[in-house]
Amino acid sequence: MKKIFITLTLISIITACSTPTKKELIEVQKTDKNVLFIIIDDLKPTLGTYGHPMVKSPNIDKLAAMGVQFNNAHCNFAVCGPSRGSFLTGIRPESLGILNNTTPLQSVLGDKITLPNLFKKNGYETIGLGKTFHDKTEEHEDMKAWDAYYKFETTELGWTGEKRNVTDGVLPWCFWQATEGTDDDQEDGQIAKKAVEIIKTERDKPFFLAVGFKN
């Protein structure tokens, strides 16, 4: 992550201070980095890297150790749709016009530029996996921002297993489950597998890969 930030800063300085020659432009273009953007639905800082005494998260902890960890970061809205719409456009939820999970992004987006669309306009191949925006329907997505977009479904076996509702029935869809099957039976397992496949594939230009885990 540090390498990405340093590269972007240097490009900004070069652009501001001089008019680059063709050779300089080519050299700058060679520094373009692939961007892996991971979004995890409803994840709090209950992670090893934040000192949680029970949670074991070695891979995320390694990622945090390699980059920059924010210890005073706050959600911009306590509901999924408004929060995602906000940080993927850079616009406050009140200004964007999404304050619930039912307002479609497309009804308020207009000519506003989303994060993946910004990368696409700057020569990146943009790929979305799973839940990036609030993915009920395409109306909740910015489909034009993606060169490729993949959704996955948990298998019938993946939905079986012991379930316990954690809200005393207030939210019937909110439950803890000890599922049957393997990672491949889970939506998130399929998303992770596809992400690894994409990362390992040789490409002619840098990519922006958004990986949205949700279960």
pLDDT, mean of each 10-residue run, the chain (215 residues): 36 37 52 90 91 94 93 90 95 96 95 97 96 87 95 94 90 88 96 97 94 90
The whole-number pLDDT of residue 15 equals 33
The whole-number pLDDT of residue 61 equals 96
The whole-number pLDDT of residue 4 equals 39
Q: Where in the sequence numbering do the catalytic residues fall?
A: 80, 134
The whole-number pLDDT of residue 214 equals 87
Half-sphere exposure of 212 toward its Cβ, with a 13 Å CA cutoff?
19
